[in-house]
Chain A
Amino acid sequence: MIHHMNEEDRHRAHDRVQVLKAYRSRQRWRLLWLLIGPGILVMLGENDAPSMLSYAATGSQFGIGFFLPFVVFTFALAFVAQEITVRLGAVSKTGHADLIYRRFGRFWGNFAMVDLLWTNVMTLITEFIGVVAGAGFFGIPAWLAVLGALTLIALATFSRRYWRWERMTLAFALFNLIFIPVAILVHPHWASVGRALLTWRPLPGGINNNTIILLLADIGATITPWMLFFQQGAVSDKGLAAQDIRHGRWDTAIGATLATLAALAAIIATAPLYLHHMNAAQFGAAQFAQALRPYAGRIGATLFALGILEAGLVAAMTISTSSAYAFGEVMRVAHSLNRPFHEARGFYLVLLLVAALSGAVVLIPGFPLEYVVIIVNVVAVLTMPPAIGFLLILANDREIMGRYRNTTFLNIIGIGVGVFVSLAGILYALTVILPNLKF
């Protein structure tokens, strides 16, 4: 059978042999090492530049009381949604866009694609904003930062192996944890942090449009459409099988835990700005790093700027890949990182072009960087309800999922996630339409 394969399948077969050998010899840790990747990448990838800046804005404007447990809650919601993509990818062996087009037809598929594309492009632009802002802290000019990021994306992309790309991106993604030492450097009152996590206090100052935007930005920092398309695409490109679903769940849970820690750290790190009543509403990445210097020291400020730069870079890699997967699935052309360039030109060109165009937009003089950063997560949340709708219908599709379809319990949780995200959007709409409304 193996001599009939193309290069994509050969590479995948090679990876699968390692996995099956680990199963046979009961090497639990090696198995986990071989099978982790998409879950950690998607969760740490979603801790991107706008997300980390949203967390920083949250910490600096509201402190830790309400938002620490809120962020833990949103990552729990993200886990529920992403776990479904593991099952869908491992059982169907295809991407999310492909399944939507096959099962719902071109009309609904095109709607889903439009949502994905405009949120992806907007988010990618903000990733480059993060890269430029982080690099700016070190005196690196914007054009050089964009060029450097595009070069790294191209180098990782042309590794010609999903496995190599995944491990390189994972190595970058783990730098997201750089926010943890920043949090430690501001010497937080750990008992207050513990109390905040356990008691979930109400929002200081009540709810208004600004608060709702930050709430939505924090939800959008954990749950977005591209995550569904990326993880399912990566799971099928990696070649996960139904027997690997348990490890896929662990992968997603580890990713959610690491991402939660980094997000909490960003809020804790910027909470001193709230305690000292500093108005950080319009801060960008470089300003946050500068403002943190009196509290976290030069090293802490430098780490914060590096963290924003890294967050933008990793997300630029994963989001441009998610766009390319979706393009390949919809156009029914080769779309795998296991393929050489000449076999998947469209896939690679879309990946690089989307990244290059987004990077170029950031270099436009007068571009409203800070506002776009916050609003992009809001837009991501507002496009989530139909994405969750399709996800749940597919997860209950007996023809695709067989015995791996959603249980009643998982459906109740999944519908809960959808209702929560929809209500958050409605609350946002109310504060825009009726600005004087008080809650």
Chain B
Amino acid sequence: MADQNLRQDWEWSELEWGLADEALAEHYESVRHLETLGLKPLSSGLTVLIWGLRLYVLFMAVVVIVNVVQTVH
């Protein structure tokens, strides 16, 4: 339940304070759950996929540089 100063600042009804507690309970529950999350175990398929996508970006970065150089010249 809220303290007196906050109650005076916001001038909420009991219903509204109840809703605030409800909203916060849901928020804090999600945050608590988030803190329990660790690293996701990646299957070999997913690892290959992520590496493939990373190499794709690196290759494309080189292509963009080549394209820019071609255009400038």
Interface residues of A (CB under 8 A from B): 1-3, 5, 9-10, 12-14, 16-17, 19-21, 24, 91-94, 102-105, 108, 111, 115, 209, 239, 241, 371, 375, 378-379, 382-383, 385-386, 389-390, 393, 397, 399-400, 422, 425, 428-429, 432-433, 435
Which label, helix, strand, loop or mixed, suits the secondary structure of the A interface? helix
Let me know if B20 and A385 touch, CB within 8 A: no
Residues of chain A contacted by B20 (CB below 8 angstroms) = 1-2, 13-14, 16-17
Total A-B pairs, Cβ < 8 A? 122
Q: Which residues of A contact B30 (CB under 8 A)?
A: 91-93
Give the nearest-CB partner of A418 in chain B. Answer: B53
Question: B44: CB under 8 A from chain A?
Answer: no
Cα of A5 to Cα of B21 in the assembled complex, Å = 11
Q: A375-B64, A399-B37 are in contact. Are A17 and B23 (CB under 8 A)?
A: yes
Report the bound CA distance from A93 to B23 in whole Å. 12
Contact: A2 with B17, CB < 8 Å?
A: yes
Given known A13-B24, A93-B34, contact A383–B63 (CB-CB < 8 A): no
The answer to whether B67 touches A432, judged by C-beta atoms less than 8 angstroms apart, is yes
Interface magnitude class on chain B = 35 or more
B6 adjacent to A3 (CB under 8 Å): yes
What chain B residues lie within 8 Å of A375 (beta carbons)? Answer: 64, 67-68
Q: Chain B contacts of A2 at CB under 8 A? A: 1-2, 6, 17, 20-21, 24
Question: Which residue of chain B has the shortest Cβ distance to A19 in the bound complex?
Answer: B23
Report A-chain residues with C-beta under 8 Å of the C-beta of B27: 9, 12, 16, 93, 239, 241
Given contacts A378-B64, A432-B67, contact A103 B21 (CB under 8 A): no
Are the CB atoms of B34 and A115 closer together than 8 Å? no
* Cross-chain contact A5 with B24 (CB below 8 angstroms): yes
Q: How far is the CB of A398 from chain B (nearest CB, A)?
A: 10
